[in-house]
Amino acid sequence: MTQVVHTGLERLELEPHVNITTGHSLAGEPVTLLCHPASVTRELVHAVEILQRIGARIVSLLGPEHGLDASAQDMEEVEHRRGDVPLYSLYGDSPAALIPRPDMFHDATWLVCDLQDIGSRYYTYVWTIILAAEVALSRGMRVLVLDRPNPLGGLDEWVEGGTIASGYESFVGLHPLAVRHGMTVGEIVTMVLEERGSVGRERLHVLECTAWRRSMQHPDTKLPFVPPSPNMPSFDTVLVYPGQCLLEGTNVSEGRGTTRPFETFGAPWVDAQALVRVIAAEHAPGLQLRALRFKPMFHKHAGRNCGGVQLHVKDATQVRSLRTTWALLGALWNAGTGQMRWRTERYEFVDDRPAIDLLAGGPWLRLAIEAGVSVDDMLRAQEPDRQAFLLRRRQFLRYA
């Protein structure tokens, strides 16, 4: 009989007496909850209701980038809200806004974190958990991470890219992880707090998923897909995001303002047919590229007709989107129009380094694209760093 995959949140409801560790229960405890719309069970019951059902007393709520309701667009400031249970935003107008103030905990004894990650280093939710956890632990609180499956799976062969060069840490990578890291939130938080030497990390608890295996991607779990942010509408989007997020560091539209963000991309000056023709099949594994024209309703090139491409997922287990986007960036740069540019505007609170360097973990990708380095050579150059990451992560893996 096939076992059902249960998230940490579901276990909190199903196993209330063994939900954390011997001697610790949330019943009657004042709790601060860090959550968002995807913090739900397979029956779509939200974490707020589950905590109330088990007798926890929620004294404050924390929301990550995009807000508690995930209605804000990328890099859009989210305000605090007052009410019976105050809601505080951990995404504002400065780096200081990313870290909770002690008063936001309202004397809670527990910080409970339930955020759905999507398996890419740039996705900011895991960094929000780490920053909040470090403040909570430093105050003597306990931290409970309700773990969830990594929708991209966790096999070594699915891990893509190198990590982060010293000096290139940012909110799209506070600690050296591979781009497609193949870890769950619980695994990452444990690893990062340990490697950063965070105070009080012995008070970190992870309520693991049941029956999840590293060879499972999201469809295998039979869990519902709830968009964790406004431009992450489907599992196909999750699959292409590790590579396609790099387009945020360029003047090419990553498809925001369309119904298929990240799967669709382009610009007014892109020759879509020519772009598709020059991408070799080996650099688009698991994908089929389709030339198209589109008009973003907002964000880059809003209201303008763009030539572009849609990435259609044919085999999720074969997709290596980082490799694909490196090839696409090279083709766009070499198209001969000279119109592709690297983003120079402020990006995730940083304005002294190009956004593409923050996303790539250093200047290497930008320099390689400009120099016409082949994708195969880029893969070879990143492989030692990828292997070193696989070795580092091994002791923190919790699932077979």
pLDDT band at 81 (very low <50, low <70, confident <90, very high): low
The first and second tokens of residue 265, run together, are: 């991309």
Domain count of the fold of the chain: 2
Average pLDDT, the chain: 93
Q: Residue 165 CB: number of other CB atoms within 10 A?
A: 15
Is residue 330 over pLDDT 90?
yes
Q: Domain holding 101: CATH number? A: 3.40.50.12170
The first and second tokens of residue 211, run together, are: 């029956």
**Residues 210-213: contacts with CB under 8 Å, at least 24 apart:** 210/3, 210/4, 210/5, 210/6, 210/11, 211/3, 211/4, 211/5, 211/6, 212/5, 212/149, 212/184, 212/399, 213/399, 213/400
Strand order in the sheet with 57-63: 87-89, 57-63, 30-34, 110-113, 142-146, 204-207
**Mean pLDDT calculated for residue range 101-126:** 97
pLDDT band at 74 (very low <50, low <70, confident <90, very high): low
pLDDT band at 22 (very low <50, low <70, confident <90, very high): very low
How far is the CA of 106 from the CAs of 58, 62, 103, 292, 377, in angstroms? Answer: 10, 12, 6, 52, 53
273-302 pLDDT tens trace: 999 999 999 999 999 999 999 999 999 999
**Mean pLDDT calculated for residue range 27-55:** 95
Q: Residue 39 CB: number of other CB atoms within 10 A?
A: 25
Whether residues 193 and 116 share a domain: the answer is: yes
* 311 belongs to a structural domain: yes
Q: Domain holding 306: CATH number? A: 3.90.1150.140
How far is the CA of 27 from the CAs of 15, 18, 228, 372, in angstroms? Answer: 13, 12, 28, 59
Whether residues 290 and 339 share a domain: the answer is: yes
Whether residues 109 and 26 share a domain: the answer is: yes
Whether residues 248 and 220 share a domain: the answer is: no
* 158 belongs to a structural domain: no
**Mean pLDDT calculated for residue range 188-205:** 97
Radius of gyration of the chain (CA): 21
What letter would DSSP give residue 186?
H
**Given this model, what pLDDT does residue 79 score?**
58
Whether residues 247 and 218 share a domain: the answer is: no
pLDDT band at 84 (very low <50, low <70, confident <90, very high): confident
Q: Residue 205's domain spans which residues?
A: 8-149+184-224
Is residue 75 over pLDDT 60?
no
